[in-house]
Amino acid sequence: MARHGGSEDWIAGINAVDAALANDIGNVREILVEARARNPRLAELTGIAQAAGIAVRSVGNEVLERISGGVRHQGIVAHYAAAKSYDENDLQALIEGAGGAPLLLVLDGVQDPHNLGACLRSAAAAGVTAVVIPKDKAVAVNATVRKTSAGAADRVPVVRVTNLARALKDMKDAGVWFVGLAGEATQSLYAMDLKGPIGIVMGGEGEGLRRLTREHCDWLAKIPMVGEVESLNVSVATGIALFEAVRQRS
């Protein structure tokens, strides 16, 4: 399976740096830590980095503020080379590697990095095979996503595809059935069979599922709600849908 050379980035925050050191330490290039910080967790992380031969530098808070670009850094940032990136050419191998029952998450145009990070966190906890996102009109995995995902961005394959409709067709040809979440659907999510090779498709903020994406879904389903709220945040809805699949598969 291809693992293409990814871009280099800075990740900020204790949990994000901790996750990088725990899951992908070979791609951590350098650690910058606030010179006057007294947080014992910072000392623990810098100790792990130094033991692995990673350079650690003490810098002023203004340096961390500039590098983190508004992300809350908590006194530490890491220079990170994200080597694991996936595209549509990897989908077949990922599906085959799931042993006949892949669980895929397709995000159709999620643009808020906090939402994407939260979706990735739920995907990792649910044991998702891969998360598929379009390259255009959607947020990529960046420093904010990595921080929000609490390390999940390094544990779940995130597949960026040029044409989402075509990727859905290719995955259907590989035996995957797709359930799209839509508020106007008549079927309940809880009535769907999510135990086989399944992809759960979520729309982006505001627009929801786009027409072509909707047309490539085998079924549309909704999350039943008893209150007056018209829709759920995409990351909340994603968590509900994924763990209904986990419940059925257990």
Same domain? For 43 and 105 the reply is no
Q: Is 100 annotated as a binding residue?
A: no
Q: Is 239 annotated as a binding residue?
A: no
Q: What CATH code is carried by the domain that includes residue 69?
A: 3.30.1330.30
pLDDT value at residue 153: 79
- Note whether residue 3 is domain-resident: no
- Note whether residue 144 is domain-resident: yes
Same domain? For 44 and 96 the reply is no
Q: Which domain holds residue 126?
A: 88-249
pLDDT value at residue 3: 36
Same domain? For 37 and 19 the reply is yes
Same domain? For 63 and 117 the reply is no
Q: Domain ends where: 58, 81, 104?
A: 81
pLDDT of 2 over the 50 cut: no
Same domain? For 125 and 24 the reply is no
- Burial (Cβ within 10 Å: 0-12, 13-18, ≥19) of residue 148: buried
- Note whether residue 158 is domain-resident: yes
- Note whether residue 135 is domain-resident: yes
Same domain? For 103 and 70 the reply is no
- Per-residue model confidence as pLDDT tens digits over 100-144: 899 999 999 999 999 999 999 999 999 999 999 999 989 988 877
Which one is predicted more confidently, 167 or 183?
167
Give the mean pLDDT of 76-99: 87
Q: Is 203 annotated as a binding residue?
A: yes
Same domain? For 63 and 114 the reply is no
Same domain? For 34 and 113 the reply is no
In total, how many domains does the chain have?
Answer: 2
Q: What CATH code is carried by the domain that includes residue 128?
A: 3.40.1280.10
pLDDT value at residue 85: 77
pLDDT of 4 over the 50 cut: no
